A = this chain, B = another copy of it.
Amino acid sequence: MADSTRAGDGAPTLHDVAAAAGVSFSTVSNVIRNHPHVREATRKRVLDAIAAVGYRPNLVARNLRSGRSGVIGLAVPELNQSYFAQLADDVIRAAGAEGYVVLVEQTGGRRERERELLRDPRLALTDGTLISPLGLTRDDAKDIALGRPVVVLGQPLLDEADHLTMQHEAAARAATTHLIEGGRNRIVLLGAHPAEQGTTASLRRDGYRAALEAAGLATPDELVVPIEVWDRHHGAAAMWELLRSGTVFDAVFAMNDDLALGAMRALHERGVHMPADVAVIGFDDIDEGRYSYPSLSTVDPGRRQIAELAVAMLLERIMGTTDAAPGRMVAPDFRIVVRESSTT
């Protein structure tokens, strides 16, 4: 039980085990690594010694030797946004199934922070990175040299990285079309990021516009509401402001479910009925939307599959089981989920 062989306060090492078992530390290493040529009696003696001194391999040393850490990094805007919490959940599970653990970083969706993260030597602790950028543009990323496996969840951004792209535009278009087919024609877009190109926000906005144009509807500027941070709070605040302004509308397409839920709260408070007065659809299919009142229509982008696919792509790079050039994959099909908030 006791660890009488140990000196100082450090954890026992191979050498401590070796001393306890009366063999060289190489032999202990052989036992641990399942080296084929170890006599049964020796193996047992070593295993007993391991138990006796309470030895645990020092993973840091092992990593230094092997060049691998068994850790992947996941960078998301913030876990307080349900979509990313659930994405992180899925990623941790998928990675865990392959024996990897996950270091989670929050970017707040700020481009400087996203940039910094991709260059941060801290990431060298991980074998690779999965990043879901929000603010970063191709321009910002131009001079980033990675030299390590990275998978980007989003639009093509880095030449050296793999990309897993959602069908933002098509999905946004389908969501908007769903509202139009329900007879709506003054549809608010909640969460625009005006100045940007090639980001999640701009692609979804393009889809929204395309749907309206295809239906012969105009897209008045006052219906496109910019919101920097896509959380419930900002969704509610923006909706309050919109209601205060007296703008007339009969539907809302929110850039994500958090914004939609925040907006719904504001609509409730003003006594606006959903879906009778205003139909609402969000994006992401977070779990909450099933349980809200009214339950929230949304776009299911296949989050779970995306997480699994992204982890698989990253691990393939890490293990070097692929020699394909960095490329782009398009996420599996999205799906419009119709719930109460947009039922005609």
**In the complex where A78-B89, A80-B287, A93-B106 touch, is A70 in contact with B261 (Cβ < 8 A)?**
no
Map CB proximity to B onto A86-127 as digits: 1 under 8 Å, 0 otherwise: 101100110010000111111000000000000001101100
A340, B262: Cα distance in complex, Å: 16
Once the chains bind, are B92 and A86 in contact (CB under 8 Å)? Answer: no
Map CB proximity to B onto A261-276 as digits: 1 under 8 Å, 0 otherwise: 1101100100000000
Q: Number of A residues whose C-beta is below 8 Å from B? A: 54
Taking CB atoms, residues of chain B closer than 8 Å to A125 are 59-60, 63, 69-71, 101
CB proximity of A240 to chain B, nearest CB, Å: 12
Once the chains bind, are A85 and B79 in contact (CB under 8 Å)? Answer: yes
Q: Does A183 contact B (CB under 8 A)?
A: no
From B58, B80, B103, A124 is in contact (CB under 8 Å) with B58
Q: Does A61 contact B (CB under 8 A)?
A: yes
CB proximity of A95 to chain B, nearest CB, Å: 11
Map CB proximity to B onto A38-63 as digits: 1 under 8 Å, 0 otherwise: 00000000000000001011111101
A96, B67: Cα distance in complex, Å: 25
From B60, B89, B291, A232 is in contact (CB under 8 Å) with B291
Q: Does A64 contact B (CB under 8 A)?
A: yes
Q: Does A82 contact B (CB under 8 A)?
A: yes
A155, B70: Cα distance in complex, Å: 32
From B69, B102, B233, B262, A104 is in contact (CB under 8 Å) with B102
Can you report 14 A-B residue pairs in the complex whose CB atoms are below 8 A from each other?
A: A54-B145, A56-B124, A59-B121, A59-B125, A60-B60, A64-B64, A71-B103, A80-B287, A92-B105, A96-B106, A101-B103, A231-B287, A232-B287, A265-B293
Q: What are the nearest 5 A-B pairs in CB distance?
A: A85-B85, A79-B89, A265-B291, A56-B121, A80-B89
